[in-house]
Amino acid sequence: MTDELIPQELEVTPVETAIVAEPVYIFRTMIVPAAEQAEAQAIAAEYPGGEGMFTTACSPTGLLPATDYISSGYVTTDIVDALAAGLVDEDITEEPPFVALDRLGLKLVSEPEPAPEGTADGN
C-alpha cells in the first residue's frame, strides 16, 4: 500500500516556443517607374498591409501618361526590403512625398486615367 503513495517519476516533454516578432513599421516614400508598377504591387501585396500600393500616378508634367507611381506612408520593413531586393529601378527614401517628387522632377498626375473602352464612362 505504501507503493501507491510514492510519486511516480513524470516524463517531461520540452515545449518549444516560437518567438514571433511584431512587424516594424517605418515611414518611407517609394517611387517606381511605370514599367515596374505591376511588379511592385505584386511584391508589396505578399505582405500584410501591402495591398493597394503604387496606385498614384506621377509624371514630369503632371499629365498622362504616367511615367512613375508613388506610395508613401508607414510600411513594414519587410515590404521595404522586398521591394529593394526585387526591383531594378526604385527610389525609396525617408523624405516626405512632395520632397521626393521634387527631387526627381515629378508631379502627381492631376487627370484621371481614361476609362476602359466599352464601359459606361468609356462609351
pLDDT 10s digits, 6-54? 556 667 667 777 777 889 999 999 999 999 999 999 999 999 999 999 9
pLDDT for res 66: 98
Number of residues that make up the chain: 123
Contact assessment for residue 54 and residue 69, using Cβ atoms and an 8 Å cutoff: yes
Question: For 43-76, how does the pLDDT look when each residue is reduced to its tens digit (9 = 90+)?
Answer: 999 999 999 999 999 999 999 999 999 999 999 9
Cis? peptide before 114, omega within 30° of 0: no
Question: For 90-117, how does the pLDDT look when each residue is reduced to its tens digit (9 = 90+)?
Answer: 999 999 999 999 999 999 999 776 677 8
pLDDT for res 8: 63
